Amino acid sequence: MPPYTNIPLSPAELSYLHTSLSSTPPIRPDGRTPTQFRPLVAETAILPTANGSARVCFSDGTEAIVGVKAEVEKTRGGGMEQDVNMGGDDGNDEGKGEVQWLQLGIDIPGLRDDDALPVFLGAMLREALLADGGLAARLNINARFHWRLYVDILLLSPPLSYPLPLLSLTTHLALLSTRLPALVSQGDEDPLFNDDWQASLPLYPSKASQPPITLLVISVQDTILFDPSVPELAVADAVLAISVLQTPGSRTWSVVAIRTVDPPSRLTAAGVPSSLGSAGGAVATATNAEVLLARERDEIGSVWRPPRGGVGRKVIARMVKMVVESGGVADEVMGGLEGVEIGMS
Amino acid sequence: MAADPSPAPTSLSFPRSTFAKLTPGPFLHAHLKQNPPIRPSGRTLTQFREQQITTGSLTHSHGSAVVRLGDTTVVCSVQGEILKAADIPSPPDESADNEDLLETLGLLVPNIELSTGCSPAHLPGNPPSTLAQSLSWKVRTLLYGSEIVNPEDLQIMFTAPKIDEEDDAPVPEVKAYWTLYLDIMFISLDGNPFDAAWLAVMAALRTTRLPRASWDADREAVVCSPALEHYAHLTLHTTPVTATFAVFSTANPLKQRSEAESWVLTDPDTSEEEVCREALTVTVDGKRVLGIDKAGGRVIGMEAVEECVKLTFARWKEVSTILP
Amino acid sequence: MQADRRRLNAPAGGTAPPVFASANTSPPRRRRKADEHRKIFLQTGIVPSAAGSAYYELPPDPATPPLTRKSSLKITCTVHGPRPLPRNAAFSPNLLLTTHVKYAPFATKTRRGYVRDSSERDLGLHLETALRGVVIGERWPKSAADVVITVLEGEDDGPAGAHSGDMGSGWGMLSVLAGCITVASAAIVDAGIDCVDLVSGGVAALVHDQSSEITTVLDPAPAEHVTRAACLVAYLQSRDEITEMWMKGDAGGDLGGLIESAVQSATLARTVLVEAVKDSTEARVAAMSPPELPSTDAASKGRPKDVVTTG
């Protein structure tokens, strides 16, 4: 069970939130517009011993730190795990890295490594990072050695809301600030590096190539909202996590991963319609079948009911469009992140 | 309850399934009391369940078998992996007997997995229960004890080429071993897991085909030939067949022992296993008895055991013709 | 790796899978049309002691000889429940659905262990998301249902011989998940748990074909081509809704088209699902009909007879 299903909201409160969020224009509890993000504090290069690091605090008190470290590892090429070609040479693919070279670890206080939330978040972030294949190629040193990148994500506050956008932003900034020492040796010999840190090269060298960012989008009936807070998540009909990557060289965005997240609203209790509640004068001797029929027939809007079914295709299309269109949400987030100074630890 | 002098109390008649769930013991007893005794599933006392064996359905295994024994379904897969002789921490003596080689090195690794949701009592997420562990161990003991697998089948030899004409002929040495992992997963469990598991192991071993492996001196590694013609079956020396019997007894500490009745049920299913406190497993091969394993109770004596052994020999004749 | 003390372990020294000298066989090519789904075999009621169960298989191509065949998906699913929660469990107004997905050790090219790793837990979470939208949980308060999936044979992650990435993070997982969703749906209906609709899983992928153009294919077998992006949906046809979507890779500008193709693939899988559910319901109705009166002829000798007891 997800940890955030300890939703301390009654069916009446849930119904109120749902109605206000699905009205036109939508009324969010804190008065934001649908695409407005809450202010956050971000700083990079805070850990002097890590190759790259970042810390982001959201305004609801959640805080995360990401540290990136790199180690040199011998490439297991031509070893036991590979098919041996008995004659001639392979069609060698130069520069293509293995996906094992990135190791992601998520630490959320109060949860074990194999609980649902860390596993899901870890898989999603990993997929997004490896999506374009460019990262794996950048970790290659020479034919015999490569960098192994360890990304350790620590959520410093208890997981009140779904921490995915926080962790993704922090990882993005940490990777942007990651620097790898400059290579001094030549060719395929054992790698030797320049110990002058000022000469180190960033992992993501130019503004053109950036790591992806993951956004959390919810839909409440026909309304689409970004950066949902805890009560907004509790009444969401559908929750989607979309990872986008800026195409190198242009300012267009492409989607690299999408996952649906189970909305916590499905685990809430339904309200009792007034026709069935004793306060409304209902008869206590109604059979189970009658009660069921009455609840099913209850029109939407009378009381809160956990959502059934899934998300419509048009809604998904609208969500994706809102993220990737030029001037859309991804551009806004990018603009905000550009203000963060990428320091050198 | 007041004693009523009027006619005998009316008899209660339940549908079968309700009676079976409420009081499984008396339900079974009522069936066995009939003349001739019959079991709730309609089988006679000495009748085995219908078995179906399908082999070779798994792509990634060197040998596989799916066995259905009534409602018990089990999948066994044999996968071979290479163990380099140089990696063995304490290698066996050169002069050591070949017979114990398999067991010393642990080259046959059976594992029975019951926590697959095969029955409501075996839900996943738990480490192997006592039953699963003891079944795995029984299969292992029978594999090594009956010496089915020929140790030479699992050895990968290498003969260094002669360098000088005057040198003696080079001695072939063992550079690596095949290790066979036998993974036995239960899809559905309706009693008598050991018989089903062993039948699957036998069927899988008999259809296992290992690729031809040779030692490459330059790479210091074992390389296998992918050609289909070079795959070879294992040579199996024996064909052990097992049969399990459960004993249902009405013995009760409050009653006289002489009043108790007991029946020996062949190939019990779950409902019968639950009410029987005594079980017997006999393993035979051809005309030899390889093992008799009895657990619990003190009802059956030597005559009953002899009967069971006879039944197992008959079963052996039947099964050894069916096995692929 | 620590030795598992409750299982029989590998010999001391560790083993490695056999390495083959490369054969000059060409990799398998997709022979179906781009919008053709592989034939699905789906049967329910394979585990009589469970509340509901189903078996899903993509039968292998009979034309290829054994030992060189590529993976053909085989999945079993058992549903236990709904059963009451233990006394000390907290009150839950909805059905507590737990999913458990496990690959058998012999399911993939490299042997897996017996303990669940993170990719299997991830699959379980995806499946739970897909099923939660379909099950009407509010009709089963204070109850729990377990959906247990065993993957007897999984999909390859990529064309044979290529670096296929680490175990389970490749494209094969999407096809396996689509199969899991379909088989879990059949098993849940077999168990009699209330559902909104039948949910079926479908996968579509953008692949590089021989001329290195990018085409969309339905129901990709990752061993047959180089995949660029893939999308899985769990689709409810009667409501035209998607309960679960998982998309990986760079779809370029055609994301909408990819999702449409995945929905189409799910619709194709649904036809098989409907057939299987119909058969299962007919079998159950037939089993519930009253038994015939006991007769004394020889034909009924082996059949179980009703037994009368005195109370």
Same domain as B148, residue B88 = yes
Shared domain for B260 and B143, answered yes or no, is no
B273 in C contact zone (CB under 8 Å) = no
User: CATH code at A187?
Assistant: 3.30.230.70
CB-facing half-sphere around the CA of C250: CA atoms within 13 A: 17
> Where does B2-158 show beta strands of DSSP type E?
51-55, 63-69, 72-84, 108-113, 155-158
For B309, the token pair is 């052994």
- Dump pLDDT digits (tens) for A146-190: 889 999 999 998 877 788 889 999 999 999 999 998 888 888 788
Nearest-Cα residue of chain C relative to residue B43: C302
Dihedral in degrees, nearest 10, Cα atoms B10, B15, B21, B27: 60
Does residue B97 sit in the same domain as residue B221? yes
pLDDT for residue B120 is more than 60: yes
pLDDT in tens, chain C (311 residues): 456 788 888 888 888 888 888 766 666 677 778 888 889 999 999 999 999 999 999 987 776 665 566 678 999 999 998 999 988 888 888 899 999 999 999 998 888 888 888 889 999 999 999 999 899 888 888 899 999 999 999 887 766 554 444 333 478 889 999 999 999 999 999 999 999 999 999 999 998 876 677 888 898 888 778 888 899 999 999 999 999 999 988 887 788 899 999 999 999 999 999 999 999 899 888 887 765 544 444 443 444 444 444 43
Q: Go through the domains of chain C in sequence order and give each one's CATH number.
A: 41-160+169-283 (3.30.230.70)
Q: Do C47 and B119 touch (CB under 8 A)?
A: yes
- Are B226 and B110 found together in one domain? yes
pLDDT for A44-53, tens place per residue?
989 999 999 9
Structure token pair of residue C34: 């781009």
Are residue B136 and residue B177 in the same domain, yes or no?
Answer: yes
What is the ipTM score, two decimals?
0.86
Same domain, B91 and B133: yes
Would you write out chain A's pLDDT as a tens digit for each of its 345 residues?
333 357 788 888 998 999 999 898 999 998 999 998 888 899 998 999 999 999 999 888 889 999 999 999 888 753 334 444 333 233 333 334 467 788 899 999 888 888 888 888 998 998 888 877 777 778 888 888 888 999 999 999 887 778 888 999 999 999 999 999 888 888 878 888 888 888 888 888 877 778 889 999 999 988 999 988 888 988 999 999 999 988 877 778 888 899 999 888 888 888 877 766 666 666 666 677 777 777 777 655 578 888 888 899 999 999 999 998 888 888 888 888 888 888 765
Q: Look up the domain containing A236 and give its range.
A: 3-75+95-268+304-338
Same domain flag for B79 and B40: no
> How, if at all, do strands B63-69 and A40-44 pair?
unpaired
Residue B1 inside a domain? The answer is no
For residue B211, tell me if it sits in a domain. yes
Number of structural domains in chain B = 2
Residue type, B118: C
The answer to whether C22 contacts chain B (CB < 8 Å) is yes
Q: Tens digits of per-residue pLDDT, A252-290?
A: 888 889 999 988 888 888 887 776 666 666 666 667 777
Per DSSP, which regions of chain A are E strands? 40-44, 52-58, 63-74, 102-107, 145-155, 179-180, 201-202, 213-220, 223-226, 238-246, 253-261, 311-312
Tokens coding B54: 């399908």
| A83 vs C22, C136, C255: nearest CB | C22
Asked whether residue A158 is domain-assigned, the answer is yes
Distance set, CA B225 to CA A79, A84, C25, C111 (Å): 17, 11, 13, 20
A98 touches chain C (CB under 8 A): yes
Highest mean pLDDT among B32-41, B133-142, B167-176, C107-116: B133-142
Against chain C, the chains showing at least 3 CB pairs within 8 Å are A, B
Q: Where among B181, B211, B233 does a domain terminate?
A: B233
pLDDT at B267: 93
Cα B16 from Cα B31, distance rounded (Å): 11
Question: Do B249 and B306 belong to one domain?
Answer: yes
Rounded to whole angstroms, how far apart are CA atoms A241 and C43? Answer: 34
Q: Which residue of B has its CA nearest to C49?
A: B119
Crossing angle of helices B193-206 and B130-145, rounded to 10°? 40
Q: Number of structural domains, chain A?
A: 1
Say if A135 falls within a structural domain.
yes
Residue A199 in domain = yes
Q: Do B188 and C53 touch (CB under 8 A)?
A: yes
Q: Is residue A183 part of a domain?
A: yes
CATH of the domain at B39: 3.30.230.70
A vs B: CB pairs below 8 A: 5
Helix (H) or strand (E) holding B214: strand B213-216
Range of the domain at B256: 24-47+241-322
Q: What does the DSSP 8-state code read for residue B229?
A: G
Residues of chain A contacting B221 with CB distance shorter than 8 Å: 80, 84
- Residues B285, B186 share a domain: no
pLDDT tens per residue across span B180-224: 999 999 999 998 999 999 999 999 999 999 999 888 888 888 888
Q: What angle do CA C191, C196, C202 make, to 5 degrees?
A: 85
CB contact under 8 A, B120 and C21: no
Residue B19 within a domain = no
Rounded to 10°, the helix A164-176/A116-130 angle is: 40
Q: Look at residue B203 and tell me if it is in a domain.
A: yes
Boundary-marking domain end, from B233, B253, B278: B233
Say if residue B204 is in the same domain as residue B166.
Answer: yes
- Is residue B10 in a domain? no
Within a domain: B14? no
Count of other CB atoms within 10 angstroms of residue C91: 8
User: Do residues B62 and B42 share a domain?
Assistant: no
A80 touching chain B per CB within 8 A: yes
**Chain B residue nearest residue A80, CA to CA:** B221
**B97 found inside a domain:** yes
What stretches of B207-275 show up as alpha helix (H) in DSSP? 270-275
pLDDT for residue A143: 81
pTM: 0.88
Q: Is residue B239 within 8 Å of B202, Cβ to Cβ?
A: yes
- Report DSSP state, residue B167: S
Residue A182 lies in a domain: yes
> What pLDDT does A1 receive?
35
* CB-based contact, A85 to chain C, within 8 Å: yes
